Structure 1
C-alpha cells in the first residue's frame, strides 16, 4: 500500500506525540530541561515557525529540494484529529487536544439543543463566519473566547515572564480565530512574505532582553499551493524550496542560546475520487446540517433519523469512507482522551472520515474555490496526519 493511503487508525495514535506537546516542550526548554516527547534543547529564546501544510511524508518525498529542512528533522509527530489548520493551531497554542479546547474542525455546530440555540448556525472556525467560509461574520453570534474558553499554556508562560511576539500576516490580527487560538496579546509584527518573516524574527531577537522570548511565526503559502495545484505539483515544489531557503537564512543568523523549531499543522493528499453529498440521491434525507471539510464531515441528523442516515451513507460510500456514530467517536477518543461535555455537544451525530484519496464534496453548498481544490487534508492518512519537527540551535 502506498504511503499516501496508509491509515493511522485511532488505536495507533498513542504511539505519536502531537502538536499539543510542542508548547510544553518549549516551556521545558526554557526551564533547562528536554521533553522526551518533542526534544528541544535548553534555550533562552525559542522561535516557533509553523509552515502551513508541511507534512512529513511530502517532505521526505521531496527531500532533494529541501536539504536544510531535511537535515534538521528531529522527530515526527501527529497533527491531531481532524488534521486541519483551525484545530491544529489551537492545539499548538493551548497545549491541549480539541476535545478540551473545542475547535473540533474547519466548521461545526456549537449546540445540539434546539431550545437553547434555535438556529444552530454552523461556525466556520478558521474564517469565523456563519455556515460557509465566505458567509457573514460570526462575531456577533459566537464570541471566540466563549467557543474556546481555555486559556491554555501560553498565558501561563506569559504570566511567568515569557515575552511573546507574533510574526504573521497583519490581516490575522484581532480576527475571531486569532482571538480563540492566541490568548496572549503579545507584540505583533505583520509579515506576509518570507523576507518580512525573516526580518521580523531577526529584529525581535536583536532587541535586548533578559527574560525568555517566544517568537511565533506563520507562513500559509505552502498550504495554498497544495490546495490550488496539488501537493507535489511544480508550484508546490517551488514553494517548498522557498520554505527551505527561509529556514536556511534563519539558521545562519540564529543568535547564541536560541532554538529554532519548525513544524506543520497537517500534511495533504491529492483527491481523485469525489462523492458529492449534494447531488447523490437522498444523501441529505434525514440530515439537518453537514459541517467539517471534505475529508472529515460532521453530519447532524434529524431526530430519530440517525441510524437510517448512517446505513444509507455507509452503503453509498462503501470502502471510501468510515461513517461512525457519535458515541463510538467519543468512546474511541478521536478528539482526545478528554472531551468536555460542552465540546461533546459539538460532535456530529455521525462523523464521516474519507479514506484513501476520496473527498466528500458539496458542489451546491460550499464555495466553488473549495469544491474545485486539488489538495485536501483532515483525515487519518499518514500523509495528512504526520508532520515533522525540525530543530536548530544557535
Structure 2
C-alpha cells in the first residue's frame, strides 16, 4: 500500500488486481510457467528461478495482529519486518470468501461465495459455507476454475494440505479442486506434509497449506487472550519449520484470509430481540459484521430506514444495488446477485449485529469477529521467503 498506513478502524477497499489476496496464486504460478498466470504482485525479481512454491494461509492472521503476536511469535515478527508487505482480503473479509478468492484468483462477485452464510436464491434456506455438505453442488455454485486446476493442466504437481475433516466438503471443492488433498491435524503434521510434497519430484510444484487455530481462538477467547497467544506461538513454530525446511529452489508465501477485532458487549445489536430490526425482513444471512437482509415484497425502503435509525453511525445500510456499486464484490453476474441481500448492513468501528434466536447460539457468544471493511479486518500479510 502507498501513503500513510490506515488506522485499524479506517475503512479499506479491496485492492483487486495488484494488491489483494486473490492475486497471490496467479503471481506465484507465473513463476512456474502456467499459461495466463500474471505476476500481479511483482514477485519475479525476488523469486526468479524458483521451481517449487508453498503457499500457507494462516486463518485470522491479520496484518494489524502481527505486532500483538510478536512477543510470542518472533519468527513471524522478523519475517513481517524484513520480507512482509500488506495486502487486502476480498469482501466480505471472511474465511469462505477468502479461501475461494485465493483458489480462483477471482473476487467474490465472480466466484459467488459471497459471505459466511448466504440465502440460496428461490428458497428461504441459508447456506453455511463452512458447514456445507451436499446441495448445492459446489462446482455449480462456484463455477470459476481454480488455479490449482489450471496449474495441474500445465504440468505442475499440486498438493493441498489441510485438516482431515475438511476433505471433500463443499468449501474444499469450491476453493481447492484440482489439488491432491492431504490431511494434517496439527502444526507438526502440516509442516511435514507440506515439506514432503514440496520436495517430491523434479518438476514445477505448488503446495497450499491451511492452518485454522489462530482464528478459532480469537473468536472464542479474543485477540491477545492466553489461548490466542498460545496459538500465535504455534504459528511461529510452523513458520520456523517451513522456512528451515525449504529446498534451495523453493519459496514460501505466507498470507491470511482476514484479521479480527474484539466486539464489546455494549456494541452488539440483537436483531432477534428488536422488533424494529425484524420488521419486513424475511431471511437474514451474512455474519455479525456484514448482514444480508432479504425482505418482504415492497419492504426494502422501510427496512433501510429502520436499520439506519436504529444502528446510526454503527453501520452503513445500503440497498443491494448500492452495495454492488461500491466495488466491494467486483463485478457481480446476474446469476449471483440474489445471493446478496436486498439490504446490506456493514458495521463500523467495533459494532456487530447478532441473531441470538435464528442462528446457532455460539455465533452470538464469540469475542472477536470479522467480515467488514475496517483495515484491521481487511489487511492481511504477504511474507515472501526464498529457500
TM-score by length of 1: 0.90
- What is the CA–CA distance in structure 1 between the aligned matches of 2:79 and 2:347, rounded to whole Å? 32
Closer, same or farther: CA 38–75 of 1 in aligned 2, 3 Å: farther
**2:110 maps to what in 1?**
100
Answer yes or no: is the 8 Å Cα contact 1:38–1:75 preserved in 2.
no
Answer yes or no: is the 8 Å Cα contact 1:227–1:376 preserved in 2.
yes
Closer, same or farther: CA 235–144 of 1 in aligned 2, 3 Å: same
**1:50 maps to what in 2?**
57
**1:240 maps to what in 2?**
232
- What is the CA–CA distance in structure 2 between the aligned matches of 1:45 and 1:361, rounded to whole Å? 44
**2:252 maps to what in 1?**
260
**1:221 maps to what in 2?**
213
- What is the CA–CA distance in structure 2 between the aligned matches of 1:178 and 1:365, rounded to whole Å? 26
Report the secondary structure of 2:139's partner residue. helix
**1:5-34 deviations in whole A, cap 9, x for unaligned?**
2222x4x85697111100011112213999
Answer yes or no: is the 8 Å Cα contact 2:16–2:90 preserved in 1.
no
- What is the CA–CA distance in structure 2 between the aligned matches of 1:153 and 1:195, rounded to whole Å? 27
Residue 39 (structure 1) shift: 2.5
Which of 68, 74, 78 is the matching residue for 1:61? 68
Which of 281, 290, 307 is the matching residue for 1:287? 281
**1:275-299 deviations in whole A, cap 9, x for unaligned?**
0000012311111101011010101
Answer yes or no: is the 8 Å Cα contact 2:17–2:23 preserved in 1.
no
Unaligned runs of 5+ in 2: none
Report the secondary structure of 2:341's partner residue. coil
Answer yes or no: is the 8 Å Cα contact 1:30–1:212 preserved in 2.
yes
Closer, same or farther: CA 38–376 of 1 in aligned 2, 3 Å: farther
**1:39 maps to what in 2?**
43
Answer yes or no: is the 8 Å Cα contact 1:96–1:152 preserved in 2.
no
Check if 1:349 corresponds to 2:359: no
**1:175-202 deviations in whole A, cap 9, x for unaligned?**
1111111221x32221011110111122
Residue 166 (structure 1) shift: 1.5
Closer, same or farther: CA 122–259 of 1 in aligned 2, 3 Å: same
- What is the CA–CA distance in structure 2 between the aligned matches of 1:87 and 1:205, rounded to whole Å? 26
**1:368 maps to what in 2?**
361
**2:30 maps to what in 1?**
28
Answer yes or no: is the 8 Å Cα contact 1:16–1:78 preserved in 2.
no
- What is the CA–CA distance in structure 2 between the aligned matches of 1:150 and 1:167, rounded to whole Å? 21
Report the secondary structure of 1:5's partner residue. coil
**1:146 maps to what in 2?**
140
Answer yes or no: is the 8 Å Cα contact 2:100–2:175 preserved in 1.
yes
Closer, same or farther: CA 364–239 of 1 in aligned 2, 3 Å: same
Superposition RMSD on alpha carbons, in Å?
A: 2.0
Unaligned runs of 5+ in 1: 112-116, 129-136
TM-score by length of 2: 0.92
Q: How many positions carry a matched residue from both structures?
A: 373
Q: How does 1:207-218 map to 2 (within 5 A)?
A: 207=200, 209-218=201-210
